[in-house]
Amino acid sequence: MSALADTLARIRAEGRPALVGYLPAGFPDKQTAIDAMVAMVEGGVDIVEIGLPYSDPVMDGPTIQRAAEAALRAGMRVADVFDTVEAVAATGAPTLVMTYWNPVERVGVEAFASRLAAAGGAGLITPDLIPDEAAEWIESSTTHGLDRVFLVAPSSTDARLAMTAQASSGFLYATSVMGVTGTRTATSTAAPTLVERVKKVSDIPVGVGLGVSNGDQAAEVGAFADAVIVGSALVARLLDAGSDTATGIAAVRALAEDLRAGVERARTAPSVPTTADKGALA
């Protein structure tokens, strides 16, 4: 069992969903990003998702794009991402990299997998890589003991859900809305249905991302998902703080604590009816 699978199994035994926190490497600078990720873990995040800054994202909303563009302007490179992984994995939290596929191909699939494993990384989340075209990654990730987290969406057919779950390890990333990342005023009504559909074809843990920005929403999503994934709301704390990095890190820690309190009560609090998904790419 991988470190990620072991962590998810332990948390499931505790009767709660896992909390996954995302921040991009290198924003606002390399060391502050590392410090903010460590603060996330100290605040209660169970699993860390490190974004590899990329110039042409298809899934990232405006908040994450602003941070990624700033990191690239500051000179962030792939090698810095591996350094970030090594520093964050030292906390003991399973640490995954979320990356579009082009940077992996530029480095070389085998070389990327080898360097990620050497840094202590747990695996990759690959939003634009489908299992049908992932033979090389599946081989390399197996060789190096890395997890493969593929994505499904409300539009995925049942056959597609089954095939993607079969190719994934660790957990399956379910995007709760059709759109890009970003905080929303309401969580998606499509997410519970999507998780239910996955559960009918696989027993792999399901993480739900896109749209969670506070503890109440984490509790709402955690009532039916195995993991609650939060990105833009955490990134926004650093953006809002500007050059006051200490304030930004403190805000990230405070939000992580609120989100953790949310997942802690997810399986005990009365179910909160979802409001109509504003659908919105808010």
Cite the active site residues: 49, 60
Task: Please report how the helices 245-264 and 215-222 are oriented relative to each other, as an axis angle in degrees rounded to 10.
Answer: 40
* Residue matched to tokens 């890589």: 129
DSSP string, 182-251: ---SS--SHHHHHHHHHHHH--S-EEEESS--SHHHHHHHHTT-SEEEE-HHHHHHHHHHTT-HHHHHHH
Mention every residue, 6+ apart, whose C-beta is less than 8 A from residue 270.
none
Mention every residue, 6+ apart, whose C-beta is less than 8 A from residue 25.
33, 50, 51, 52, 53, 71, 76, 80, 81, 84
Residue 179, phi-psi category: left (phi > 0), alpha (psi -120 to 50), beta (remainder): left
